[in-house]
Amino acid sequence: MLKDHSYTCFQGIKIKKSEKIFDLLGELDKLNTVLGIARAFSQKKTLKRQLFLLQQEILRAGSLINLNKDLGEFRKKAILLEKEVEKIKNPNLKEFVKPGETKTGAFFHFARVICRQVEREVVACQKKEYLPLVEFLNRLSSFLFWLGVKEEKYLLTNP
């Protein structure tokens, strides 16, 4: 019978499964999954494609972390996401958002919450090499917020 001694191999080193890095990788996996759920519920072809590409970015981040590779590319990706946010945000929104008007919108808001958790896990790892990923996740959470707002028709009440 195999015993689990709570150790695993990470970057060629045997480390405890309780290390912060595994919390981060697990949260990235969770974010990827909830983006997939939002994509499955979305009725918009272009949005489905955008979500698929975001899932690829999340998977890439996990791969780069696993391989101990440079995450610098996420700085540029954060800038691109900021441009997307500027296209869809509504500065007239003056109320707290209560998710639940649509399934897709609710999943965008859920993905945003998970994205914020991933961001906190990245910070908790205390690696300056991860800062570009923090920037990306911060912009991604804003993007997901505005997608949720747009999907739930809040923009229609304050054009």
Tens-place pLDDT, residues 138-148: 999 999 999 99
87 occurs within a structural domain:
yes
DSSP string, 3-51: ---SEEEETTEEEETTSHHHHHHHHHHHHHHHHHHHHHH---HHHHHHH
- Across the range 64-89, mean pLDDT stands at 94
Q: Is 129 in contact with 71 (CB distance < 8 Å)? A: yes
92 occurs within a structural domain:
yes
Q: Domain containing 105: what range?
A: 17-157
Q: Give the integer Cα–Cα distance in Å for 90 and 94.
A: 9
Residue 156 has pLDDT above 70, yes or no: no
98 occurs within a structural domain:
yes
Residue 1: per-residue pLDDT: 56
Number of domains in the chain: 1
Confidence of residue 17 (pLDDT cuts 50, 70, 90): confident
1 occurs within a structural domain:
no
The CATH number assigned to the domain holding 42 equals: 1.20.1200.10
12 occurs within a structural domain:
no
27 occurs within a structural domain:
yes
143 occurs within a structural domain:
yes
Backbone angles phi, psi at 84, to 5 degrees: -65, -40
- Across the range 96-104, mean pLDDT stands at 85
Q: Give the integer Cα–Cα distance in Å for 51 and 37.
A: 10
Residue 2: per-residue pLDDT: 59
Q: Which residue has the tokens 């958002």?
A: 97
25 occurs within a structural domain:
yes
